[in-house]
Amino acid sequence: MASVEELVDRQMKRRALAERMAQSPVAAAVQQPRLLRVITISRQAGSRGRTLAALIAEKLRFEFVDRQILELLVKNTGARKRLIDSLDERTRSAIDLWVEGILTKRYIDKTEYTHLLAEAITVLAEDGDSVILGRGANIILGRRGGLHVRIVASRQTRIDNLCRYESLPPEDARDRVDRLDDERRRFYRDNFAADIDNPLDYHLIINFDRVAFGTAQEIILRAWQQYLAAVPQH
């Protein structure tokens, strides 16, 4: 897994490359709407959503940003400042307005943590080429951009997954599924005034009781190509 410093360095290099390409005569001649090149993946506990998100990131050669990296980025003032400073002034101003707007209009919890999390996710999405796992990224980015995916499965399937892939005893697996599901529902409710299971907040909801793991990868990759084709690139 990449460290926060490695993530910041790669994102800054990507930003510098994008700026050089944008200054080319061809790019200057055709100014098109800019897509946020980011996929957010929300998942139920034990659904194997994390494994799927990591594989999608690897397939696309995107950064895989999980909860641990986001938490470190929120706490690491220096790393976060470097990311923000890599953006041009107009983009920084737009992000400030966006974060302030969503904090004012939708969020219930307006603590410093919530503000910094929204800021970190928005800046990462602006830099692009990332798969962001959890932490309400689909709500934070909302209609601004990105492909938003939810991974679900029946409670028993998820319990079986934890027993099989993490060697947990059935009772421990049941406890983990119920505890994490409850924590994630409360996180969405308390921070975003949102229901994590609301289908209207996602482009795709994939049920692993009905869809094979490999097929889910194909569906997401196909949806990503359709997302990219929706607005011309520049």
Q: Is residue 164 part of a domain?
A: yes
The 3-state secondary structure of 42-70, one letter per residue: EECCCCCHHHHHHHHHHHHCCEEECHHHH
Q: Is residue 234 part of a domain?
A: no
Q: How confident is the model at residue 40 (pLDDT cuts 50, 70, 90)?
A: very high
* Parent domain of 136: 4-13+36-228
Q: How confident is the model at residue 175 (pLDDT cuts 50, 70, 90)?
A: very high
Percentage of residues of the chain with pLDDT beyond 70: 70
Q: How many distinct structural domains can be found in the chain?
A: 1
Residue 155 belongs to domain with CATH number = 3.40.50.300
| Stretch 158-180: mean pLDDT | 95
Tokens 């200054």 locate to 23
> pLDDT higher for 222 or 107?
222
* Spatial separation of the C-alpha atoms in residues 147 and 41, rounded to whole Å: 9
Q: Is residue 52 part of a domain?
A: yes
Please write the tens of the pLDDT for every residue from 18-27. 554 444 444 4
Q: Is residue 199 part of a domain?
A: yes
Under a CB-based contact definition with an 8 Å cutoff, are residues 70 and 120 in contact? yes
Q: Is residue 24 part of a domain?
A: no
Q: Is residue 117 part of a domain?
A: yes
Distance set, CA 12 to CA 5, 19, 26, 77, 121 (Å): 11, 11, 23, 16, 15
* End-to-end C-alpha distance for the chain, whole angstroms: 31
Q: Is residue 29 part of a domain?
A: no
Percentage of residues of the chain with pLDDT beyond 90: 44
Q: Is residue 25 part of a domain?
A: no
